[in-house]
Amino acid sequence: MLRLLIELGNLKRLPRTGWLLRGVPSPESIAEHSYRVALITLFLADELKAKGVEIDVEKALKIALLHDIGEARITDIPKTAQHYLDKGKAEKKAVMELLLPSPKPEEYFKLWREYEEELSTEGKLVKFADRLEMLIQAYEYERAGFQNLDEFWGTLEKLRESEFYGHFRELVEGLVEMRGKAK
């Protein structure tokens, strides 16, 4: 398991390449992104639970922590490169191999799949949190003066189509409003 923990350290050093390709010279690392996704997941899951929505907060957090671990091996492959290769297949193989020395490889892989394929309420929530985090990051980079990030805002429609949009409409639209005022 020690080798796994060391290899997962790659996530701290690997940049989110979509930002690099859009001119952000020192973008967030995959680990930085994943950390905020986990925090967003915690806050949203607790809020849903308080509203009476049946959700397993611990499960959602596990999924959030696992959702990008495959990138420790395959890196953050940008959308432009995904046209030429099967990122899903590569990431699935990487996650399966990475998790072998972990305490519960089958359970962890199942949780990762729940995110990847949006198979559970918790997996769908983490996907929502992942997209929301990316838009928050886009907003922060735009405020710092970086341009040509409009393509990232295309994910806004996926947030609006989500079953969670009704619960978190103010958050999503508040971000859109803040972006509008900053331009």
What was the pLDDT predicted at 79? Answer: 80
Q: State in Å, rounded, how far the first CA of the chain is from the last one.
A: 48
Per-residue pLDDT averaged across 139-147, rounded?
95
Extract long-range pairs of 31-40: CB within 8 Å, 24+ residues apart: 33/68, 33/133, 33/134, 33/137, 34/64, 34/65, 34/67, 34/68, 36/133, 36/136, 36/137, 37/64, 37/67, 37/68, 37/126, 37/129, 37/130, 37/133, 38/64, 38/65, 40/129, 40/132, 40/133
What was the pLDDT predicted at 78? Answer: 81
Predicted confidence (pLDDT) at residue 32 exceeds the cutoff of 90: yes
Per-residue pLDDT averaged across 174-180, rounded?
95
What was the pLDDT predicted at 173? Answer: 97
Per-residue pLDDT averaged across 133-143, rounded?
97
What was the pLDDT predicted at 135? Answer: 98
What was the pLDDT predicted at 158? Answer: 97
With contact defined as beta carbons under 8 Å apart, do 42 and 63 qualify? Answer: no
In angstroms, the CA 18 to CA 78 distance is 5
User: Can you give the CATH number for the domain in which 152 is found?
Assistant: 1.10.3210.10
**Polymer length in residues for the chain:** 183
Which amino acid does the sequence have at 127?
K
Map tokens 């949780």 to a residue. Answer: 111
What was the pLDDT predicted at 82? Answer: 82
Predicted confidence (pLDDT) at residue 169 exceeds the cutoff of 80: yes
Tell me the pLDDT tens digit for each residue of 81-101. 888 888 889 999 999 999 999
What was the pLDDT predicted at 140? Answer: 97
Per-residue pLDDT averaged across 43-64, rounded?
98
What was the pLDDT predicted at 125? Answer: 98
pLDDT category, 44, cuts 50, 70, 90? very high
Predicted confidence (pLDDT) at residue 154 exceeds the cutoff of 90: yes
Domain that holds residue 164: 2-182
What was the pLDDT predicted at 69? Answer: 96
Mean pLDDT of the chain: 95
Predicted confidence (pLDDT) at residue 105 exceeds the cutoff of 90: yes
How many domains does the chain divide into? Answer: 1
Listed in sequence order, the DSSP H helices in the chain are 2-8, 10-13, 17-21, 30-50, 57-66, 71-74, 79-82, 87-99, 105-116, 121-143, 156-161, 165-182
